[in-house]
Homo-oligomer: A and B are copies of this chain.
Amino acid sequence: MQSFTEENYLKIIYHLSGTPDIAVQTNAIAERMQTKAASVTDMIKKLADKKLVDYVKYQGVKLTAPGRKTAVNIVRKHRLWEVFLVEKLNFKWDEVHDIAEQLEHINSAELIERLDEFLAFPKNDPHGDPIPDKNGRFDSYSFIKLTKLNKGDQGLIMGVSEHSSAFLKHLEKLGLTLGKQIEIMEITDFDGSVELYAENKKISVSREVAKHILIKT
């Protein structure tokens, strides 16, 4: 059994390590944990003692198989709770992150199995992120960033890679929510902003916004 804090470290290391996994740097973890590098070093040593990460001084950390399993399970819980909050309690997609951040640490395998069933085994969370099944497996999705599309390309909005409330509210206001069909009209040379059509409206998004919208063509 891990502490609340250990779980958060594992989750962040998981998110930062990518696929295939790359050694994660101390500073990167510190920034995400809103803490100092020295504290991260301390915690990493503890996780290494517990065989949840492989750690070589000055060379970053990687999750071990058990560490990864724990992390994926936390991600599973987080995403299932987000579905619950949006589908059952009518929260908006920009309101659920902080609450799910707490709920993901509730410890009961039975609870999560039943929640999964209650929600009819959803495959994706309200932001389009895939939900691992109880064995930790999920489709590694292959959506591409809106910024990779060219003039004339069409596609469906399948997810977002940024979960801040400000960003999500902005998308909502523009009508750019999951499942929407879009077509690229123009990519501005000057600042890389993207002009697109969605639901018969012409919408302009900055490159910074476009970067975080994931598309299936």
Contact = CB atoms under 8 A, between A and B. Distances in A.
A89 B118 contact: yes
A39 B24 CA distance: 40
Q: How many copies does the complex hold?
A: 2
Chain A interface bracket (under 10, 10 to 19, 20 to 34, 35 or more) = 10 to 19
A108 B118 contact: no
Nearest to A103: B106
User: Chain A contact residues: over half helix, strand or loop, or mixed?
Assistant: helix
Contact of A114 (B91, B98, B106, B118): B91
Interface in A9-48: none
A115 B99 CA distance: 13
A107 interface: yes
A113 to B, nearest CB: 9
Contacts of A99: 106, 108, 111
Given A95-B110, A98-B108, A99-B106, 8 more contacts: A88-B118, A89-B114, A89-B115, A91-B114, A99-B111, A102-B106, A102-B108, A103-B103
